[in-house]
Structure 1
Amino acid sequence: MKKVLIIALLVGLTGCGKSEAEKARHVSEMKELRYNQMAEEFVKSHLKDPDSAQFRGQQGFCGEVNSKNSFGAYTGFKKFIAADKNMIVMEDDLSPQEFQKVWDGVCK
């Protein structure tokens, strides 16, 4: 009986340290997912065919999107920064140098 109590106590103490770290990691992951979802919604609202949107490489409000144009063809992945539903900057909205400067300042 004492062995069971000692093992339970050790497992409980070991779990305490991890649970705080796990909670912090979970909160961070949930925040990242929420930012990704918001960015996707913002970007989709500006696309010709939002249902065709494919996202990759997202980190918060930055990432890449590929979607269909007016002719029904995919345009290829383009970087975006979506800070707000009214403040979306796509890679081809600025010169390559200007966009890279903004990308480096916001997304890295």
Structure 2
Amino acid sequence: MTLIKCKACGAKISNKAKTCPACGESAAKKTSFVTWGVLLIIVLIVYGGSRSESTSSTNSSEPPELSTQQQADIKTLAKERAQRSIEIELTVKAERSVSEMMKDPDSTKFKNVFFNNTKAGGDVVCGNFDSKNSLGAYSGYKRFISNGKTTFIEGQDTNIADIWTKICLKEKQQPQTTL
């Protein structure tokens, strides 16, 4: 531990102190060389990127023409990305819904979570979760099904086995990893 002078009152304080005990002034820390280096790299990237964009926009005044196949590919890719965005959003809502129902929401862990579009249930998220109970111990993984608004949890809903079979097993498309 090294003692340094407070810049506000001149009292000697520890170099690890966040505030001066004498005057309460915040002890400013020196910015490291690594921080300055990272900042310099970011500035150069942003400056270099903006220059290349400005020079490329001045060189071509007309947008490139796309073939019919390229346009179709772009539309297909846009639809796939939109669908993936819907899946991610619903998965986040479902996991949040399950977590909020737990005694310790921050302790909730998920596995085998996947999105499924079914005739019987529409867009749903199925998976397993574990969370700490009142005693602070994990109680073991249980199944859940959620559409972001309604959530069924194994142990709380008596007919989850039937719903799981209809919605999560029969029409399961492809497993997706937790976000």
Same fold per superposition (TM over 0.5): yes
Q: TM-score, normalised by structure 2?
A: 0.47
**RMSD of the TM alignment (CA)?**
2.1
Query: 5+ unaligned residues in a row in structure 1: which ranges?
Result: 1-7
Structure 1's consecutive aligned runs of 4 or more residues displaced over 4 angstroms after TM superposition are none
Q: TM-score, normalised by structure 1?
A: 0.73
Task: Please give the per-residue CA displacement for 1:46-97, whole angstroms capped at 9, x wherever unaligned.
Answer: 1011101111222243211111111222222210112455x432122355xx
Is 1:75 matched up with 2:119?
no
Query: 5+ unaligned residues in a row in structure 2: which ranges?
Result: 1-63, 116-123, 172-179
Q: Which residue in 2 is equivalent to 1:92?
A: 155
State the 1:100 CA deviation: 2.2
C-alpha separation between the residues in 2 aligned to 1:94 and 1:61? Answer: 16
C-alpha separation between the residues in 2 aligned to 1:65 and 1:23? Answer: 32
> Which structure's residues are more often helix, by fraction?
1
Q: Larger Cα Rg: Structure 1 or Structure 2?
A: 2
Tell me the percent identity: 28
C-alpha separation between the residues in 1 aligned to 2:140 and 2:85? Answer: 29
C-alpha separation between the residues in 2 aligned to 1:56 and 1:23? Answer: 28
Per the alignment, in what secondary structure is the counterpart of residue 92 of structure 1?
A: coil
Higher relative contact order (CA closer than 8 Å, sequence separation 6+)? 1
